[in-house]
Structure 1
Amino acid sequence: MERSKRKRTKGMLALALAAAMLAACSNGNGAGNASGGSGENGAGGDGGTKADAAAPAGLNESGFPIVGEKITVSGFAGKFMANVDWSTLKLWTDYEARTNIHVEWETVQKDVLKEKRNLLLAGGNYPELFFASAFPKTDVAKYGDQGVFLPLNDLIDRYAPNFKALMEKYPVIKQGITMPDGNIYSLPTVYDPEFRSVFFNTPWIKKEWLDKLGVAEPANLEQFKEMLKAIKTGDPNGNGKPDEIAWGGVGTLGLVNYLKGAYGLNNHGTANPYVDEDPEAAGKIRFVPSSERYKELLEFVHGLYKDGLLEKDIASVKAEEIDAKGAEGLLGVVDNVDPVAIYNQQGYVGLPVLEGPHGDRMYTYLGAPLGNIGMFALTDKAEHPEAMIRWMDYFYGDEGIRNFFMGWKDETYVENADGSVDYTEDIKNNKDGLSLDQAVSQYLIWPGGYYPGFVTHKYFKGAEGLPTSVENSKKADPYTLQADQVWPGFNFAQEEQEEMGTLGTDIQTYVDEMRDKFILNGTGEWDAYVSTLESMGLKRYIEIYQSALDRTIGSNG
């Protein structure tokens, strides 16, 4: 998946990892304020098919096939591999044989996905289901409110035991996918909270250089700075040239996020990256980028830049430039996933969590376990919503997860004596010279990172599942926020969302621009920066986030 290739593009685990919040519900299943849907499908304003209603004729409520007689359903999806035909792909042809459900797929490349899905919806000629379509949460709420997307609450309750069990085990999932009207209109990508290494974005340090320089792994900010100086000036690659880059990364955000925990910032994770909880006022929102601690952080990073310890063009460098230097082994610290996976460079270990100037030592650079929440939706044209929620639910259970990520035993994967699984040699070392992603994509669709489902360590074989990544997460674990401390990404009521569409975008864009400016030039304009934020409507921005937090706290109460 995309996360395994590049931390900076996930946004995925990433890191990237986006989610939603649960509004107060008017009844037990959160479906009391449904705004519509197809009444003839039994999925209207009461949250979907009633749990005590009779199952539709021909539907099997468990096991395969899902329906007694074959049905055909129209589906739209985004895909990663351009040359893969979903109508003949084994994942789907095999699943059709077991379920008696044929999906007529219309697929488009990810780079035109947004345009194509929006055209379908605007023209009214949309399909019965959207799969791997990556709707942002604002669109999920909008099309749910319009009645285009069916509310799924009762369908999940009766026909999706795997997904229902996940919501019960991890309440943050339900919080994240429930819209402010109390309805669930889509199903998400979920990263197993117990798959700890998929959430970690700590940078990687070339351990052999530290050993050669006689420098220990840093435990605090001062030691971190001294380590970077040693790499910059000590010629650890031994070629007599000052070509080593102490910190190598694309953009300043990775470094800032890595250091935030040392200043007590983002104390509920980064699913809502600009806000956290005010440490001096429980339950109250703090705007992180105007806090004094954030200013201190930027002053520290500016010092690193001024001393030449960061990539000299860090604010503007292109990914391919850093990749070329990484492949040459010139990077002391890599701000990405394990360099063995992306640069074929051995010997890197995860940097420790650092203690800051006020005694804080936290790892806060992680989001909620939700990836994109809008990966599967049923529309008001769906003729068999009960069958299709069962169809999707399979991929949230162990057997379906294994099938989705690994394929078929002895054909695409082998099972070891200890029960672990791995791809066959023809997948890992393809005779035709195909990469792992290309070889897998002859059978499966997960490469590229666009899919609904549940990502577990047992069946996911990307960079985050490597032993080095697992060890890195264990090293950071004592200082890391626990799952119940991480806020889901907040959802906003419709009127709030309309405000945030301009207010939030303007403020956040300004903050990002000034972050780079402060790092390059220092914080001399800090007071003017804070005054500008206030004039842009920061007070209202905080009020909207406070309302969202209050709803989330209420939903947990």
Structure 2
Amino acid sequence: MKLKQWGSLLLTCVLTVSLAAGCSSGDKEGGTAAESKGGGSAGGQVNETGMPIVTDKLTVTAFAGKFFANADWNNIKLWQEYEKMTNIHVQWDTVQKDNLAEKRNLLLAGGDYPEMFYASAFPRADLLKYGKQGAFLPLNDLIDKYAPNFKALMEKYPIIEKGITMPDGNIYGLPTLYDPEFKSVLYGTPWVKSEWLTKLGLKEPQTLDEFYNMLKAFKENDPNGNGQKDEIAWGAVGAAGLVNYLRGSFGLNNHGTSNIYVDTDPDSGKVRFIPTDPRYKELLQYVNKLYKDGLLEQDIMSVKSTEVDAKGMEGLIGVVDNVDPVAIYNQKGYVGLPVLKGPHGDQMFSATGSPLGNIGMFVLTDKAKNPEALMRWMDYFYGDEGIKMFFMGWKDETYKENADGSVDYVDDIKNNPNGLNLDQAVGQYLIWPGGYYPGFVTQKYFKGAEGLPTSVDNAKKAEPHVVPQDQIWPPFNFTAEEQADLTGIQTDITTYVDEMRDKFISGNASFDEWDAYVSTLQKMGLDRYIAIYQSAADRYSK
């Protein structure tokens, strides 16, 4: 799944946590009370339920990636209050997100790593690598005994366990999760300016031809009424968003976009490499026509987000490929664009990912003196009570509760007297701004653009055509051998595919070069690439 605006709307990247069938301070499940690893000296007995988690104070070391808006984690109220509840003191070593990978890798290479990695976004290959080396602990038994909230989510949504389990059978990290019931955070079609439709006497398009005609009318018929042809029919940074929106109209990505280059061939039942499929060629030819006829931002391949944002705030964009323009451009009146019927009768919305985000957001290392306590420490934030504190803070201090049970930030946060924006104001108390942490994104506590009523309505419009939930693939996990082969070929293949996509769309490459393009991919090792994904798909289907 893609949260569409990173940076200029950090709220859309927040990760929240929720109770799906567990409990928080009074867990009903859990192992027997456990002594710490090392004879019980590190924090003493772990309590099965309730708070504190350990009887004697436990100090642990942790490393985390953070966003600029957050205060010092060693002094931030969230962790101070949680320490009082749990009896666990965390010594935080944090790094700005832009330097995360470098610092994370240096710690592991030097052997001077902490007991816990939090919000560190380990890629799947690293989870398997360091897990097999013994630096990362398998979490399977710890989840079973000490994480009733997370365990309940796995039982409710089987895709979670299948998606976080490595080919060796072990789980080495806890993920970012998106509630499968929170439809508008999992998918959302682009937004069309409804007043332009009304002014030009147009209905919302239902087919590719109608979509073309609508964009052409936006471009040529002065819907903003200023006497100038300054309208941008389709405004976006890059062409990937438009291509992704149209994939389902050409019958592509029938398992969603978590593994965006592959799906299942309807004829053979085997893995299909989408960028060489004839229907993908048709898709690019259609988008090339839009580009050639001036219906897309003409600098779409190179335009900067600030330039698109400036046009959006002036109300010059007919179709916005982003979150609701009211949230990012302060432009009201946009509605969700319908899912379009394609040339072969397909009317599928496949630009949706799985509920799994990064699965390496919480990792325990072999230096953890009391992994049982740390698993309970983390599991609290997968329950309703924990998420309310984690994401909203404290009643009457950072949030207010309405009569219907809904919550909202207090006015000092929403309209900060010191001129802080929402991320900065919240970041004085809590760590969610920037969206880097393990969690469960639910509509109940989500305050980003995807939670707006307009976004919920947009998702409902698309819902009848969305790939069924039980057919969605998460990002695949690979064996060490498969990963070694992929490392050698995947970057070249995907880089070339994306470069040629843009060249075909812009006309810098003729479609007469299609066979040569496919041949080049074959020489890059495409057959091995497909075989690896076939093995991963076979493992997942079992």
- TM-score normalised by structure 2 residue count: 0.93
| 1:5 CA drift (Å) | 3.8
Range 97-106 or range 81-90, more displaced: 81-90
1:231 corresponds to: 218
1:424 corresponds to: 410
1:195 corresponds to: 182
> Are residue 377 (structure 1) and residue 363 (structure 2) matched?
yes
What is the SS of the residue equivalent to 2:119? strand
Structure 1's 13 and 175: CA in aligned 2 closer, same or farther, altered over 3 A? farther
What is the SS of the residue equivalent to 1:458? coil
Q: How does 1:355-434 map to 2 (within 5 A)?
A: 355-434=341-420
What is the SS of the residue equivalent to 2:120? strand
> Are residue 531 (structure 1) and residue 519 (structure 2) matched?
yes
Q: Is this contact kept in 2: 1:7–1:201, CA < 8 A? A: no
2:3 corresponds to: 3
| 1:13 CA drift (Å) | 7.4
> Are residue 143 (structure 1) and residue 130 (structure 2) matched?
yes
Q: Is this contact kept in 2: 1:7–1:336, CA < 8 A? A: no
Q: Which residue of 59, 66, 70 corresponds with 1:72?
A: 59
Deviations 1:437-473 (A, max 9, x none): 1111111111101010111000010011011100100
Partner Cα separation in structure 2 for residue 518 and residue 8 of structure 1: 30
Identity %: 69
Q: Is this contact kept in 2: 1:5–1:341, CA < 8 A? A: no
> Are residue 179 (structure 1) and residue 166 (structure 2) matched?
yes
> Are residue 132 (structure 1) and residue 119 (structure 2) matched?
yes
2:482 corresponds to: 496
> Are residue 326 (structure 1) and residue 312 (structure 2) matched?
yes
| 1:413 CA drift (Å) | 1.0
Deviations 1:200-235 (A, max 9, x none): 141111111111111111011000000000100011
Partner Cα separation in structure 1 for residue 233 and residue 132 of structure 2: 51
Structure 1's 509 and 219: CA in aligned 2 closer, same or farther, altered over 3 A? same
Q: Give the partner amino acid of 2:102.
A: E
> Are residue 240 (structure 1) and residue 227 (structure 2) matched?
yes
Partner Cα separation in structure 2 for residue 8 and residue 201 of structure 1: 18
Partner Cα separation in structure 1 for residue 275 and residue 74 of structure 2: 49
Range 363-372 or range 50-59, more displaced: 50-59
Deviations 1:412-448 (A, max 9, x none): 1111111111111111111111111111111111110
Q: Is this contact kept in 2: 1:298–1:523, CA < 8 A? A: no
Q: Which residue of 440, 449, 456 corresponds with 2:426?
A: 440
Partner Cα separation in structure 1 for residue 397 and residue 227 of structure 2: 51
Structure 1's 396 and 224: CA in aligned 2 closer, same or farther, altered over 3 A? same
> Are residue 93 (structure 1) and residue 80 (structure 2) matched?
yes
| 1:165 CA drift (Å) | 0.4
Deviations 1:59-115 (A, max 9, x none): 101100000111100000111026611111111000000000000000110011111
Structure 1's 269 and 227: CA in aligned 2 closer, same or farther, altered over 3 A? same
| 1:505 CA drift (Å) | 1.1
Partner Cα separation in structure 2 for residue 195 and residue 365 of structure 1: 15
Partner Cα separation in structure 2 for residue 238 and residue 250 of structure 1: 25
Q: Which residue of 499, 502, 506 corresponds with 1:513?
A: 499
Partner Cα separation in structure 2 for residue 527 and residue 5 of structure 1: 36
Q: Is this contact kept in 1: 2:13–2:435, CA < 8 A? A: no
Q: How does 1:265-280 map to 2 (within 5 A)?
A: 265-280=252-267
Structure 1's 258 and 7: CA in aligned 2 closer, same or farther, altered over 3 A? farther
Partner Cα separation in structure 2 for residue 5 and residue 94 of structure 1: 31
Q: Give the partner amino acid of 1:423.
A: Y
| 1:52 CA drift (Å) | 7.3
Q: CA RMSD in A?
A: 1.9
Q: Is this contact kept in 1: 2:6–2:13, CA < 8 A? A: no
Q: How does 1:34-49 map to 2 (within 5 A)?
A: none
1:39 corresponds to: none
1:35 corresponds to: none
> Are residue 485 (structure 1) and residue 471 (structure 2) matched?
yes
What is the SS of the residue equivalent to 1:133? coil
Range 427-436 or range 509-518, more displaced: 427-436
Q: Which residue of 446, 460, 483 corresponds with 1:460?
A: 446
1:104 corresponds to: 91
| 1:51 CA drift (Å) | 6.0
Q: Give the partner amino acid of 1:208.
A: E
Range 75-84 or range 257-266, more displaced: 75-84
Structure 1's 341 and 228: CA in aligned 2 closer, same or farther, altered over 3 A? same
Q: Which residue of 455, 459, 467 corresponds with 1:473?
A: 459
Partner Cα separation in structure 2 for residue 214 and residue 509 of structure 1: 42
Structure 1's 306 and 9: CA in aligned 2 closer, same or farther, altered over 3 A? farther
Structure 1's 78 and 511: CA in aligned 2 closer, same or farther, altered over 3 A? same
Partner Cα separation in structure 2 for residue 341 and residue 52 of structure 1: 48
2:541 corresponds to: 553
Partner Cα separation in structure 2 for residue 122 and residue 488 of structure 1: 29
1:118 corresponds to: 105
Deviations 1:375-397 (A, max 9, x none): 11000000010000000000111
Q: How does 1:287-298 map to 2 (within 5 A)?
A: 287-298=273-284
Q: Give the partner amino acid of 1:335.
A: D
Partner Cα separation in structure 2 for residue 512 and residue 424 of structure 1: 45
Partner Cα separation in structure 2 for residue 502 and residue 14 of structure 1: 34
2:23 corresponds to: none
1:34 corresponds to: none
Give the length in aligned residue pairs: 517
5+ unaligned residues in a row in structure 2: which ranges?
16-29, 37-43
5+ unaligned residues in a row in structure 1: which ranges?
16-49
Deviations 1:247-305 (A, max 9, x none): 000001000000000000000000000000011022x1000000010000001000001
Structure 1's 170 and 279: CA in aligned 2 closer, same or farther, altered over 3 A? same
Structure 1's 455 and 168: CA in aligned 2 closer, same or farther, altered over 3 A? same
Structure 1's 361 and 13: CA in aligned 2 closer, same or farther, altered over 3 A? farther
Q: Which residue of 246, 264, 280 corresponds with 2:251?
A: 264
- TM-score normalised by structure 1 residue count: 0.90
Partner Cα separation in structure 2 for residue 293 and residue 227 of structure 1: 23
Range 381-390 or range 311-320, more displaced: 311-320
Deviations 1:489-535 (A, max 9, x none): 11110011011012111111110000001101142211111111112
Q: Give the partner amino acid of 1:85.
A: D
Q: Give the partner amino acid of 1:260.
A: R
> Are residue 249 (structure 1) and residue 236 (structure 2) matched?
yes
Q: Is this contact kept in 2: 1:361–1:479, CA < 8 A? A: yes
What is the SS of the residue equivalent to 1:377? strand
